[in-house]
């Protein structure tokens, strides 16, 4: 079956068409600036990529253009839409309602809508993508795969905040965690590479990208994770602050004369390594800056790695041990220096980095020495493939 994987944002739409038998990507691409002007980048495998500037007033037009490119005589990879057997949608927030992927029905759409409050920037966009596909491909079954679902196995003691319990009861305020598709995929793949059953492993997955989260996976199940009610909690990220003293919000709002909304905007968009360095949210720029002697670029990278190491320590503690630390996503897969910095704190776990193997970028590799008691690995994530697999499994 050919599965179209859709990841819809407020003004963008990423897609991949995946052959579920060979697991090959047939085409992938991105619609940007939806509702503004519109740009489509379409990359058919084995053919030249195309970039088209085209009017995209809404997501339905964007999906229509994607379907047109997929079936286009010159740039296409399928001869008709009949070949698309299913659509898998990434949905950011499934609240407590969704502990697994589901086939999309009108009831499911209503239940996703009910979670909009918890992810006001993401879920409405995901729903727009679902509705656009339903409109243009009414007979093709669709599946929703949630970023939060994998973490629904967390015990109460891990997901409850130290707040009045009624906020959990009335407003569902608790830790949900994100990047679940990635944490699930990487932890399973880690076990597979080692020839082990996930049930027999304690893995800490470090998903380090523009957004970063750490997850403790015990026996194949998420038992704790660093992101919370929203993706703002955890380690400092590209532009997000990560965990801070909550009193800072009021303090800065008063000092800088900012509204609550403006202060939250600072925490989401102007903080993290961007905020510390004052240079960039991109770890490559920070490395370049540090290499040229920019102390704040170096400091931003140090703060980040230190924070990741603290979560690793915390999760090793709550799982009473850890077998493998797996690094994934943009930074985790491609930045040997950040991995080295994180692992420099983990000697007490009997983890020693093999400096040569640690030079790897974007490839599966065990990067700890043969003598290490705890392994470190690079395991590239593949959220689209995981969504395609889930979609096929459900149908």
List residues binding ligand ADP (CB under 6 A).
Answer: 209-211, 238, 282-284, 329-331, 334-335, 361
Alpha carbon 139 to its chain centroid, in Å, reads 29
Q: Is 111 a catalytic residue?
A: no
Q: How far is the CB of 155 from ligand ADP (least distance, A)?
A: 27
Which residue, 219 or 336, is less far from ligand ADP as judged by CB?
A: 336
3-class DSSP state of 289: helix
Number of neighbouring beta carbons within 10 Å of residue 268: 17
Q: How far is the CB of 42 from ligand ADP (least distance, A)?
A: 19
Which residue, 284 or 373, is less far from ligand ADP as judged by CB?
A: 284
Which residue, 261 or 356, is less far from ligand ADP as judged by CB?
A: 356
Which residue, 159 or 283, is less far from ligand ADP as judged by CB?
A: 283
Closest of 61, 29, 192, 79 to residue 128, by C-alpha:
61
Q: How far is the CB of 177 from ligand ADP (least distance, A)?
A: 15
Q: How far is the CB of 11 from ligand ADP (least distance, A)?
A: 15
Residue 230 tokens read as 């929203």
Whether 79 contacts 71, CB under 8 Å: yes
Closest of 10, 264, 7 to residue 121, by C-alpha:
10
Q: If residue 384 lies in a helix (H) or strand (E), which one and from where to where?
A: helix 383-394
Which residue, 174 or 179, is less far from ligand ADP as judged by CB?
A: 179
Whether 52 contacts 64, CB under 8 Å: no
Which residue, 59 or 240, is less far from ligand ADP as judged by CB?
A: 240
By beta-carbon distance, which residue lies closest to ligand ADP? 330
CA gap 112, 335 in Å, rounded: 36
From 19, 37, 72, 147, the catalytic residue: 147
Beta strands in the chain (DSSP E): 2-8, 13-19, 25-32, 39-44, 50-53, 84-91, 102-103, 142-146, 202-208, 212-218, 221-225, 324-328, 365-366, 375-378
Provide the b/e sequence for 30-56 (b: ≥16 CB within 10 Å): bbbebeeebbbebbbeeeeeeeeeeeb
CA gap 395, 378 in Å, rounded: 31
Active-site positions read 147
């Amino acid at each position: 079956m050919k599965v179209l994987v859709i990841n819809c944002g407020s003004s963008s739409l990423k897609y991949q068409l995946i052959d579920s038998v060979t697991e090959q990507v047939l085409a992938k691409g991105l619609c940007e600036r939806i509702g503004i002007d519109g740009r489509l980048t379409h990359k058919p495998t084995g053919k030249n990529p195309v970039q088209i500037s085209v009017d995209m007033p809404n997501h339905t037009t964007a999906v229509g253009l994607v379907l047109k490119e997929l079936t286009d005589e010159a740039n296409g990879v399928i001869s008709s839409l009949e070949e698309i057997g299913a659509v898998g949608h990434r949905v950011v927030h499934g609240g407590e309602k969704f502990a697994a992927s589901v086939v999309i029905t009108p009831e499911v759409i209503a239940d996703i809508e009910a979670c909009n409050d918890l992810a006001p920037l993401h879920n409405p966009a995901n729903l727009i993508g679902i509705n656009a596909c339903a409109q243009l491909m009414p007979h093709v079954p669709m599946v929703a795969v949630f970023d939060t679902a994998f973490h629904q196995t967390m015990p109460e003691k891990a997901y409850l905040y130290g707040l009045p319990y009624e906020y959990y009861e009335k407003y569902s305020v608790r830790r949900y965690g994100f990047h679940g598709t990635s944490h699930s995929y990487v932890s399973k793949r880690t076990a597979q590479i080692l020839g082990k059953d996930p049930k027999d492993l304690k893995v800490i997955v470090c998903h380090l990208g523009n957004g970063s989260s750490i997850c403790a996976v015990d026996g194949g199940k998420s038992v704790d994770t660093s992101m919370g009610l929203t993706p703002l909690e955890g380690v400092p990220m590209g532009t997000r602050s990560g965990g801070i003293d909550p009193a800072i919000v009021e303090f800065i709002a008063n000092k800088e004369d900012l509204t609550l909304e403006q202060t939250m905007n600072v925490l989401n968009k102007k903080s993290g390594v961007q905020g510390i360095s004052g240079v960039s949210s991109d770890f490559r720029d920070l490395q370049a800056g540090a290499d040229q002697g920019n102390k704040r670029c170096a400091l931003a990278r140090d703060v980040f790695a230190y924070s990741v190491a603290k979560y690793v320590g915390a999760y090793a503690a709550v799982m009473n041990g850890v077998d493998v630390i797996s690094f994934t996503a943009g930074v985790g897969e491609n930045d040997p220096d950040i991995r080295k910095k994180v692992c420099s704190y983990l000697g007490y776990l009997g983890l020693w980095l093999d400096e040569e193997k640690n030079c790897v970028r974007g490839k599966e590799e065990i990067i700890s020495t043969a003598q290490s008691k705890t392994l470190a690995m690079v395991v590239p994530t593949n959220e689209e493939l995981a969504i395609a697999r889930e979609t096929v499994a459900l149908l």
